[in-house]
């Protein structure tokens, strides 16, 4: 294949140390003639996978996660951008460089695990050493395969047919087989989505503990936000072929940069903003339909903090609720008056939906608040946990 350039013809192409994958400006359209007007499945996607880290592509169906992963694997060829792996350029659209999937230092764990039913567990595990990038011979193949099966707790099943394994054991075998190809990075596309909820939670913990034990970098795809938050060092939130935000799980939850991220990760109240003006200490005073709200968190630069549009974002657990008869709010208290629409007792808390003007605000209140639908309540947002999001 002429497009497969094995040696380093593009000159010095060392990635910065500590990064297993560098993706820069990836752009891919499935249309035959990807011109200016083409619809891009991904458009300007850039990110790193640092050594030993678990990085997740998260977003709704159709946002371009699989396309991104397949470009990294070399199964799709992008129209623009560059990919480096382990210090080598494996893809560069401007130079027509495209290293074949089998020559990239990756292993893909398919959704269905891709276990061969006509082979034993041992032969499945040994496959990459017999047919992969770094081939090995004779007794070493068996020895290494057995060592790895022992690491994942399958040594006693080495001579069974692969079809005799349970779903969880098949995942372990797929993982062991992937590692035996000596990859730099594991690529996983929704590997748990076919399983029931209980097994999914168990296997995701196991996946993470294997990934840490073998200190291997992973690029993981899911549309499930709780899976992404539970597993990842870094989450890349995608929307319509573009990256919205790259951050650790906690930062993503506490400091979303856009209303899309705030809404997709956990639940958020998003109040449309009519006008903003600068508040004290770098905060933003946002005028909404239910009054002015002081926002102590704003991802935008200070210069951008006056203007129109955007949203106030506050999580339900950060809304303080008082029964209105506990004392009339003082002027300047920044309290919002509303009426309870629904009230659900959830044991440890009360989940309220409060109607204030045109908006419905969800709030978690003390379980003993005792508010019923129709009751008047006052709501207050702590500026320190309230964000102004410009988009």
Ligand X SMILES: Nc1ncnc2c1ncn2[C@@H]1O[C@H](COP(=O)(O)OP(=O)(O)O)[C@@H](O)[C@H]1O
- Closest approach, Cβ 66 to Mg ion, in A, equals 3
Binding range to ligand X, per CB under 6 A, among 63-71, 122-130, 244-252, 263-271? 63-71
Q: What are phi and psi of 333, to 5 degrees?
A: -75, -10
Binding site for Mg ion (CB under 5 A): 66
- Closest approach, Cβ 44 to ligand X, in A, equals 14
Choose among Mg ion, ligand X, none what residue 41 binds, the Cβ cut-off being 5 to 8 Å by kind: ligand X
Q: What are phi and psi of 124, to 5 degrees?
A: -60, -50
Per-residue x/- mask for ligand X, residues 148 to 177, rule CB under 6 A?
------------------------------
Determine if 288 is a binding residue for ligand X (CB under 6 A).
no
Token pair 């998003």 in the structure block, residue: 270
Determine if 116 is a binding residue for ligand X (CB under 6 A).
no
Determine if 77 is a binding residue for ligand X (CB under 6 A).
no
With the CA atoms of 108, 212, 192 and 218 taken in that order, what torsion angle do they form, in degrees rounded to the nearest 10?
-40
Determine if 302 is a binding residue for ligand X (CB under 6 A).
no
- Closest approach, Cβ 218 to ligand X, in A, equals 17
When the beta carbons of 65 and 82 are compared against ligand X, the nearer one is 65
Determine if 41 is a binding residue for ligand X (CB under 6 A).
yes
- Angle (nearest 5°) at CA 213 between 207 and 192: 5
- Closest approach, Cβ 70 to ligand X, in A, equals 8
- Closest approach, Cβ 58 to Mg ion, in A, equals 11
Residue 359, token pair as written in the block: 């908006």
Determine if 369 is a binding residue for ligand X (CB under 6 A).
no
With the CA atoms of 46, 52, 53 and 57 taken in that order, what torsion angle do they form, in degrees rounded to the nearest 10?
50
Residue 268, token pair as written in the block: 């958020």
- Closest approach, Cβ 190 to ligand X, in A, equals 8
First-to-last C-alpha distance (Å) of the chain: 46
b/e code 8-44 from CB counts within 10 Å (16+ = b): eeeeeeebeeebbbbbbebbbbeeeebeeebebbbbe
Determine if 30 is a binding residue for ligand X (CB under 6 A).
yes
Residues near ligand X (CB under 6 A): 30, 41, 59, 61-67
């Amino acid at each position: 294949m002429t497009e497969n350039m094995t040696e380093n013809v593009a000159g010095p192409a060392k990635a910065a140390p500590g990064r297993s994958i560098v993706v820069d400006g990836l752009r891919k359209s499935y249309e035959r003639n990807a011109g200016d007007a083409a619809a891009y499945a991904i458009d300007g996607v850039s990110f790193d996978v640092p050594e030993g880290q678990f990085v997740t592509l998260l977003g709704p169906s159709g946002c371009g996660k699989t396309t991104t992963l397949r470009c990294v694997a070399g199964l799709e060829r992008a129209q623009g951008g560059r990919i480096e792996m382990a210090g080598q350029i494996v893809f560069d659209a401007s130079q027509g460089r495209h290293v074949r999937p089998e020559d990239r230092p990756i292993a893909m764990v398919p959704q269905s695990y891709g276990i061969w039913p006509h082979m034993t567990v041992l032969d499945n595990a040994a496959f990459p050493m017999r047919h992969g990038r770094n081939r090995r011979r004779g007794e070493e193949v068996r020895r290494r395969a057995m060592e790895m099966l022992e690491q994942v707790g399958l040594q006693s099943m080495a001579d069974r047919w692969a079809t005799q394994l349970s779903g969880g054991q098949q995942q372990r075998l797929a993982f062991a087989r992937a590692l035996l190809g000596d990859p730099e990075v594991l690529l996983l596309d929704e590997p748990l989505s076919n399983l029931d909820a209980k097994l999914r939670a168990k296997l995701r913990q196991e996946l993470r503990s294997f990934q840490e034990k073998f200190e291997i970098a992973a690029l993981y795809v899911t549309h499930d936000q709780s899976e992404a938050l539970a597993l990842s060092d870094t989450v890349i939130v995608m929307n319509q072929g573009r990256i919205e935000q790259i951050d650790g799980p906690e930062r993503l939850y506490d400091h979303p940069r856009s209303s899309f991220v705030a809404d997709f990760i956990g639940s958020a109240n998003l109040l449309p903003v009519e006008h903003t003006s600068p508040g004290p200490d770098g905060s933003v005073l946002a005028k909404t339909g239910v009054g002015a709200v002081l926002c102590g968190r704003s991802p935008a630069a200070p210069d951008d903090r006056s203007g129109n549009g955007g949203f106030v974002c506050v999580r339900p657990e950060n809304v303080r609720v008082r029964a209105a008869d506990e004392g009339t709010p003082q002027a300047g208290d920044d309290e919002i008056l509303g009426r309870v629409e629904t009230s659900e007792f959830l044991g440890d808390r009360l989940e309220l939906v409060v109607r204030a003007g045109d908006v419905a605000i969800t709030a978690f209140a003390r379980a003993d608040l005792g508010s019923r639908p129709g009751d008047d309540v006052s709501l207050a947002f702590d500026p320190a946990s309230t964000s102004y999001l410009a988009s």
